Every structure is written in structure tokens, then in C-alpha cells.
Structure 1
Amino acid sequence: MSAIPEHKSPRSIGRRELVVLIALLMSLNALAIDGMLPALDEIARELGAEEGNRRQLIVAVFLLANGAGCLVPGSFADRFGRKPVLMFSLVSYVVTSLIIAFVHHFETLLVMRGLQGLLSGGLMVAPTAIIRDKFEGDKMARTLSIVFAVFIIVPVIAPSLGQAVLLVAGWRWIFIGLALMGALAMVWTWKRLPETLAPENRQEINVPVIAANMKVVLMTRASIGYVLGVTLLVGAVFGYVNSAQQLIGEHFKMGTLFPVVFGGTAAMMAVSNIVNSRIVERFGARRVSHTGVLVFIVVSALQVWASHYHGDSLALFLPLMAINLALLGFLGANFGSIALQPFGHIAGAASSVQTFFRMFGAAVVGLVIGQSYDGTAQPFAHALLICSVLALALVLYSEKGRLFRRLNAPQRRNTVP
């Protein structure tokens, strides 16, 4: 269901191209995270930051800053349009990537990583607002799932790409590669992406109005439980990303096979997002995601059991972790579409607030989980279980205690005899 009509022009973009472009834009931040996981040891060694879990800050600082950077762009996207916000974020992404490629101090790298994450926050906010501009209800959930299915390819292949770069060059070339990818996305966006913000939905840059819009987003019961719920679930996954190199590479002794193992588990999210895109309009976002979070709790409980009684068994950890990540494919897009559904008239502001909680809040949760790594899988397993149980409680709050409701009946296609 299209929310706004678009004028046909030579520059009009088809749905498939839009999905791929949106996925590319959203994947740039993921590439800036997962692409350097194999290089953390080399970066820390060269810049003198080898002690303890300090190397995790290369990822954690970016995640925290990226989450904080999501809070502002939505208001500008509601005033000036989605495309200007994207262009600013892309230019910032390219410039900061090039600067990082030439730093010589660990503290300087962390500062620039923070700046990179902060200024590229619009790459998460504007694409979500574009999808809300064009679709609603289960149709929006289906489109988000397709986007995420394409987007998830990046975490799957990024560690291997980073490892490949390390085989022929130093870690600095990873950041040069990020700059090239950002430049490609910038040209594509400039040439092909139309403005999707309807003129009647433009909002003034007015602090009281912005504050009021944010308050509405935060105080809407039907939405906030899903926002905080997905924050906890994504936070648990961020904890996995932060500690994956140590957990898989060192604890489970995978060494140079780490990128393959990590990518294999992450690949399950792509599969589940494709499946979700096929079933969500038939069964509804609520029914699919509510089932997903209940199964997530069961699998997380098995993770806790395995970490205590078979702590060194990669044969148990990998299948369970793959299932956890696969289940996230039935939760992320659906939770996001349900949470954003009530805010069509302020989609940019709503996307900013919700993405801020989903990214910054999840980054904080992930940082705590990552820093709790003690050489075993136990802290991470307990975190998965706690986060999933709390997510279910928050969903129950938004749904007033009733799960599996179908608020929007599936549309029937009219046939012409």
C-alpha cells in the first residue's frame, strides 16, 4: 500500500532497486562494525591497546555514537526531506573513514570512530522513514524484511572481506574500502533516489514541536514496548558482536576460521528475513514476532544450559547461536514496523527516537555484555535469556497482556473476470 503518490519521471526508481539501495545505505554502518572484527588484534597491537577487553572499544564506541547520532536526523528529515539527510551522512562517512585510515594513536582512532558513528546516524534513520513514507502495516513489515534480508548479507561477508584485506594489506585499507563503498552509495543516492517526503508532512524545525513529537513517540503504549523490546534483543546481539572475536576465535579456538564461523551464524538472519517477508502478510507481524520471541526464550535457556555443562562445545554453541540469530529475523523488522505504524505524519521524528533507543540503548547493553566476557560463554548466554524474557514482558505491556492479535486483516486482491 503506497502512502504517497509519486510522479513518474525518467529518474523514478523501481521497488527492487529501492530495496537494494536502502539495504546498501543501512549496511554501511554494519560494514564499519563487522568489517574490522578480524583486524581488532592487529589494530590494538599496532596502536598499543592490547590489554584486556580494550580492543572491543573500536566497535563499542562506534555503536554508542551511532545510536546517539540517530536522535537528531529525523527532525531534519521531516523538515528538509530524506535525501539531504542521507547525503550529509554519506559525505561524513566517507571523510571520517579516510581520516581513520591515517591515525597513529588509539585514542585518536576512538575519537574518530565516535565522530564517524555520530555523523552517520542518518543512514539508519532516513531509510526507515523512506519505507514508512511508501508503505504501512504488514506491507511495511514485508518490505523491511526484504531490506533486512539484503542488508544482512553484509555482516555475513564483512569479516571475510576484512580478513581478505589483511592477507594482502594492512588494517588501514579496510577503512579506505569503507570510504569507497560510501562514495558509491553517495553517487547512487544522488542520481536515483527521489524525495519521498510528502509536502503536507513537512514539519518546522521548532524545538517545542520536536520535543512534543518525541514525547508522543515515547508515551504511545502500543509502540514503546516494542521499541524497548527490540533494544534488548539487538543489544544481546551487539554483545555477541563485541566479544565474538574473543569468544569464537580464542575460547572456541577457531583462530583464522573466525570470519567463516561468524559469517555462518549471521547468515541465518538473511534466511529468516526472506522467510518472514513471505509469511508476514499472511499471518501478521504480531503473530509471527510473538511466536519468535517465545521460541527465542527457549533457545536462550538452552544456551545457558550448554554454557554451564558443555562450555567448550562449539558443536552445541554454533547451532544454538544460529537459531537465536535466525529468530531475530522474525523479530527486528516486525517489531520495528509495529512500533512505527502509529506515526505516519511524523515518521522522521518517530524513526529518530526509535532508532536512537534501538541503537544507542542496544549499544549500551552490548557494551556491558561484551565487557563481562570472562573467557567463557556463560555471561553471554545469561544475557540472551534475561534480554529475551524482558522483551516479552515489554511486548505484553504494549499489547495489554494479549498476544497473537491480528489488527490488520490481510488484503484481498480484486480479480477481474
Structure 2
Amino acid sequence: MKFRESLILYASLTSLTALSIDALLPGLRAIGEEFGATPLLSTQHVISLFIFGMAFGELVLGPLSDAIGRKRALLLGLGLYAIGPIIALSSQSLEMVVLGRFLQGAGVSGPKIATRAMIRDQFDGSAMARVMSLMFTLFILVPMIAPALAMGLISVAGWRSIFVAYLLIALILGLWLAIRHPETLPANRRIPVRPRLLLTNGFRIVANARVMLLTVATGLVFGAQLLYLSTAADIFHDAYGVTESLPLYFAGLAISMALAFFLNSRLVQRFGMEAMARAAFIGFAGSAVSMMSACLLLDNELPFPAFLATLFVTFFATGLLFGNLNALAMQSLGEIAGFGASIIASGSSLVSTVFALVFGRFYDGTSLYLAAGFVVASICSLVLAEIGLRSDPSPVRAAQPAHN
């Protein structure tokens, strides 16, 4: 398989996560109208518990990708992912929709983890960051067009049609991978799934300050975005009266991340991952503080243009951060890239889910809750990442299985 086709396949597989979130956003209000909220669940959880499912799937599928190969683990994840839409399609309650979404999240961790490990198998350092940025540049097309396409599907066939689309996409990607892509992890480099070995390697990864601090920082950055995504349909409607044109605004804001990914792919090998990440953190914190200040000065009535402008800058900064933070954390993993990627992804998913659930409870129909979340996420992630980047960069050494 040529590099260009591999890149498109990686972007398609990775974009399944974004597609599973963004395509459903226009349908959240319809789901809420059909099922309503329960004492424990609301439509926010259709998004946030999808990410929670990812955290569990990543812990399982990461070690499996080190043991049975990236390709098999990825296909296994796609199979589990496909079960989620089947459950959601037949659901008669919000609880069943959330269960289907949880399984989707657990399954999508296969493509998410295995593609990163495949890239780590083939590239290193700034070259890895460049490949990830190019992949994300293609991947960003999803949030630009998914909400508009989803809204068209919903208007014709209802919100359940989105889950039919999810099922078909999973089948197509699975066939493409199975037929065209080779395995990137040779049999002699695989690490068997043994509880004691996993615990030892897991402890070594968790004990690495650089990896874990960057993992928490990544989780906070993603948590800020997840907070926005889980409440975006409501805030656009409640605060600004935007409903039908919501996909257009989503596409416009996604352009900022596309620009960031493209710019990072051009500049990261010149300036380095750390310099790009630090500049992005400053931009993220600056836009968050500006948004918070404007909300307080204007009595929580942030004008719509100002709301969009701060979101644009925020998404540009987080776009620069995603590729670089992941690559910086992965750089210290070496031969346990699959298991390490699972811990990084699972840890960041747990952090982001908790963050979004906590701050989402403060939603009041204005943008103040979002500004507060952005400020906390940006400042805390900046501090943690800076400490992490100054920590020992030595690679994590994998424990080897005992030979009889």
C-alpha cells in the first residue's frame, strides 16, 4: 500500500471518532424530544458516555494490538463498534441509546489506538508528528461536512438513520483495511497478553512523569472541546436562536482546526514539537481568558460574533496541540507503543469525560460555563505540560516475558 493511500485510510479510521460525535449533534434535540431526560441521563450523556466507552476499550485493545498485531485489533474494534448502532437502532429508551453509544465508544478505540500504533511502528519524532498532522488535516473534513449531511439524513429518515450510516461506514472501512493494508508489527516484536507482564509494563508507563503529565494535559484540552461538543446544539439554540444553520457554523469553526493541522505539518519539523505546543498553549489560554473576561463584563451576554471569534481561536490552538501532545507522549513509549497508546488514550479520555460532565452541569443557557471551562482547561493543561516537557525524556523500557 502506497503512503498516500495509507494516509487516507488512517485519516478515515481516525475520523470515525469525530464522525461518531459530530454527525449525531444535529439529532440530539430530536432524541431528547422523543425520549426526554431521566433522573440520571440527558442528551449530553449521548456524547460524553461515548468517550467514557472509549476509555474502557482503549485499555483492552491497546495491549491486544501489541499481542496479536495492529490489524487484527483494529478489525476487532470495528466489529464491536458495529454492535452499537444495531442497539441504538432498536432502542425504545434513552438508556438503550446511551448503551449503544457506550459500545460504539469502546469499539472505536480499536481504530483510534491501532492507527496511532501503526504510525509509531513506521515513523519517529518530528516525522511522526508530521504524519499525524497530515492525517488530522484530512480528518478535519469530517466535522466540516458531517453535521450538514446528518441533518439532511435526519430530515428525510429521522435520527435513527445516522446509526445506519455508522454501521455501513464501519463495514466499508473494515473491508478496506482487511484487503489492502499489511500488518506493521512483526511477530517477533509482539508482546503476549500476560497479566503480570501487563501490570509491570503498565506500572512503568504510569510511573513515567513525562508520559502521564502530557496525558492529563491532553485530556484537559480534549475535555474543553468535549464540553463544547456535548452542549453545542443547546447553546447555539438557547443563547443565539441558531438551529437550521448550525451545520454551517460547525463547518466554519472546523476550518480553524484544519488550518492548524496543515500549518503544524509544515512547521513542526522546522521548529519542533515542544515549541509548537508551547505557542498553542499560550493561544488557548489567551482566547479562554478573553472569552471569560468578555462574559463577565457583558453580564453573560456575549455577542454572537465575539462568541464565534473566540471559538475560532480556541479551536485553532487546540488543533495545534492535538498532534504535538500525542506525538510527545508517544515518543517515550518505544516498543510498547500499543499498550502505551492505550494508557495515554484511556487516561486522556477519562480526564476529558469527567471534565465535560462536571462543567456541563453548570450549563445555564449562556456561554459563561463554556468560558470558565476553557480557562480551567487551558491554564491547568499548560502548567502540567510544561512540567512534563521538563521531565526525563528517556524511553520506557518494556519488561520481557519470562522464558521457560
Q: TM-score range by the shorter chain?
A: over 0.9
Gaps of 5+ in 1: 1-12, 408-417
Q: Deviations over 1:233-273 (max 9, x none)?
A: 11011000011011112212112111211221122111110
1:164 aligns with 2:152: yes
Q: Does the CA contact (< 8 Å) of 2:118 and 2:184 recur in 1?
A: yes
CA distance in 2 between partners of 1:40 and 1:329 (Å): 25
Moved over 6 A (4+): 50-53
User: Aligned to 1:96, what secondary structure does the other structure show?
Assistant: helix
User: Aligned to 1:256, what secondary structure does the other structure show?
Assistant: coil
1:388 aligns with 2:378: yes
Q: Counterpart of 2:186?
A: 198
Q: Does the CA contact (< 8 Å) of 1:201 and 1:346 recur in 2?
A: no
CA distance in 2 between partners of 1:369 and 1:159 (Å): 24
Q: Does the CA contact (< 8 Å) of 2:41 and 2:95 recur in 1?
A: no
Q: Counterpart of 1:219?
A: 207
Letter in 1 for 2:312: A
Q: 1:177 aligns with which of 160, 165, 168?
A: 165
CA distance in 2 between partners of 1:222 and 1:62 (Å): 27
Letter in 2 for 1:329: G
Q: Does the CA contact (< 8 Å) of 1:299 and 1:323 recur in 2?
A: yes
Letter in 2 for 1:94: A
Q: Counterpart of 1:232?
A: 220
Q: Quick check: 237-246 or 96-105, which moved more?
A: 96-105
Q: 1:274 aligns with which of 230, 246, 262?
A: 262
CA distance in 1 between partners of 2:283 and 2:244 (Å): 32
Q: Quick check: 306-315 or 205-214, which moved more?
A: 306-315
Q: Deviations over 1:120-144 (max 9, x none)?
A: 3212111110110010000000001
Q: Counterpart of 1:347?
A: 337
Q: Counterpart of 1:316?
A: 306
Between the two proteins, what is the percent identity of the paired residues?
Answer: 30
1:371-382 alignment to 2 at 5 Å?
371-382=361-372
**Would the alpha carbon gap of residues 247 and 51 (structure 1) be closer, same or farther in structure 2, given more than 3 Å must change?**
farther
CA distance in 1 between partners of 2:18 and 2:354 (Å): 17
Q: Counterpart of 1:106?
A: 94
Q: 1:400 aligns with which of 390, 397, 403?
A: 390
Shift of 1:119: 2.9
CA distance in 2 between partners of 1:353 and 1:253 (Å): 41
Q: Deviations over 1:275-303 (max 9, x none)?
A: 10010001100111111101211111101
Shift of 1:67: 2.0
Q: Does the CA contact (< 8 Å) of 1:249 and 1:257 recur in 2?
A: no
1:327-338 alignment to 2 at 5 Å?
327-338=317-328
Q: With structure 2 as the length reference, what TM-score do the two structures score?
A: 0.93
Q: 1:244 aligns with which of 206, 229, 232?
A: 232
CA distance in 1 between partners of 2:85 and 2:95 (Å): 16
Q: Does the CA contact (< 8 Å) of 1:78 and 1:348 recur in 2?
A: yes
Letter in 1 for 2:64: F
CA distance in 2 between partners of 1:76 and 1:337 (Å): 21
Letter in 2 for 1:284: G
Shift of 1:63: 1.4
User: Aligned to 2:66, what secondary structure does the other structure show?
Assistant: helix
Q: Does the CA contact (< 8 Å) of 1:67 and 1:361 recur in 2?
A: no
CA distance in 1 between partners of 2:97 and 2:43 (Å): 11
Q: Counterpart of 1:209?
A: 197
1:258 aligns with 2:246: yes
CA distance in 1 between partners of 2:151 and 2:205 (Å): 41
Q: Does the CA contact (< 8 Å) of 1:41 and 1:50 recur in 2?
A: no
Q: Deviations over 1:137-162 (max 9, x none)?
A: 00000001111111121122211111
Shift of 1:50: 8.3
Aligned Cα root-mean-square deviation (Å)? 1.9
Letter in 1 for 2:134: I
Q: Quick check: 109-118 or 145-154, which moved more?
A: 109-118
Q: Deviations over 1:335-378 (max 9, x none)?
A: 11111111121000100000101222212212222222111111
Q: Counterpart of 1:121?
A: 109
CA distance in 2 between partners of 1:297 and 1:401 (Å): 22
Q: Deviations over 1:196-235 (max 9, x none)?
A: 0133321011111111111121111232221111110110
